[in-house]
Amino acid sequence: LALSVELARFNLDVWHATDFIPPQFGARRQIASIYDLTFLHYPQFLTAESRRYYNDQIAWAVRRADHILTISHASKADIVDLLHVPPEKITVQHLAADSSFKPLSAGETASVRDQLKLPDTFILFVGTFEPRKNIDGLLRAYDLLRRDMRDAPPLVLAGNRGWLYEATLSLIDELDLSQSVLLRESLSQEVMPALYNLAYMLVLPSHYEGFGLPALEAMACGVPPIVSRRSSLPEVVGNVSLLIDPDDPCDIAEAMARMLNDTTWYAEQRAASLKRAAQFTWEHAAQVALSVYTM
């Protein structure tokens, strides 16, 4: 309510609520961004407090908004199916990787390798440490990979701790992986392009994503991703990448093994990754937003 009162002073033509909750009043046209519906698909992956908050707010948001922006066709389908919003009220606005995500030379990445104490070759995961990201499944798959390939490169988990992360981190010790799984937390945005460039592959085995920006950032750096065949991820990677079943650690392990062993195919995937990433631009995202603002 306080925001609505404050906005009313400006007589706004458009208000875009990027956190999906529009004010009660204060603008002639109200746009809401809804990124994903994880809390409806996987309520068990959130705390009880978070579930209550999102469930209370989402119904209000879709009623109040004049139009909804979302970041994938998969998310649009969810909004239509689960929230019963007419499809014509929703526009897809794909994300893009920042221009800093690009192939870098060894000289440009050396300082980050030293700063983060990274090995010569490693498998990378980027994302919040929370159940939705399926790090548990990745750890079990990595354990299988190491049993079959004793010289498998280390696994680097880069991100921040989210809700319900404790069981995931304890699994590292349960599987006796503490020497080969490296945690790199609270990283600055400045080191991320180099981190991707230094990785051999990215693995993103999420149960659900609204978009999956790390997959796109990796491809923009020429690093092939392995992603789940669920939600938005196949839409983002296109024909690049290996699609895996996030509930099957064997499937994930086999994909990582192929990426490591098939060097000819891997080189082809690196080139294809760059081409795919170039199809997503912030200029196009801005044009989509402007078209919605001026409807």
Six token digits for residue 266: 């891997």
In this structure, what are the phi and psi dihedrals at residue 71, rounded to the nearest 5 degrees?
-105, 5
Q: Using 50, 70 and 90 to split pLDDT, how confident is the model at 275?
A: very high
Structure tokens belonging to residue 80: 């239509």
Please state, in angstroms and rounded to a whole number, the distance separating the CA atoms of residues 98 and 89: 28
Predicted TM-score (pTM) of this structure? 0.93
Give the model's pLDDT for residue 179. Answer: 95
Per residue in 118-160, pLDDT tens? 999 999 999 999 999 999 999 999 999 999 999 999 999 999 9
**Averaged pLDDT of the chain:** 93
Q: How far is residue 190's CA from residue 182's CA, in Å, rounded to a whole number?
A: 20
- Local structure of 104: helix, strand or coil: coil
Q: How confident is the model at residue 82 (pLDDT cuts 50, 70, 90)?
A: very high
Query: What CATH architecture does domain 2-96+282-293 belong to?
Result: 3-Layer(aba) Sandwich (3.40)
What pLDDT digit, counting tens, does each position of 191-237 carry? Answer: 999 999 999 999 999 999 999 999 999 999 999 999 999 999 999 99
Overall size of the chain counted in residues: 295
Mean pLDDT for the stretch of residues 60-64: 85
Same fold, 2-96+282-293 and 106-277: yes
What CATH number is given for 106-277 in this structure?
3.40.50.2000
Q: Which residues of 81-212 form beta strands (DSSP E)?
A: 90-92, 123-126, 155-159, 181-185, 201-204
Q: What residues have CB less than 8 Å from 18, skipping those under 6 apart?
A: 33
Mean pLDDT of 178-203: 97
In the chain, domain spans = 2-96+282-293, 106-277
Q: Which long-range contacts (CB under 8 A, 24 or more apart) does 185-193 make?
A: 185/158, 185/159, 185/160, 185/161, 186/160, 187/116, 187/158, 187/159, 191/112, 191/115, 191/116, 192/100, 192/101, 192/126, 192/217, 193/100, 193/101, 193/102, 193/104, 193/217, 193/221
Residue 37 confidence (pLDDT) above 60: yes
Cα 249 from chain centre: 20
Cβ–Cβ contacts within 10 Å for residue 18, how many?
10
Nearest-10 Cα torsion for 181, 115, 269, 102: 150
| Half-sphere exposure for 282 (CA within 13 Å, toward CB) | 7
Least confident of 30-39, 118-127, 175-184, 249-258: 30-39
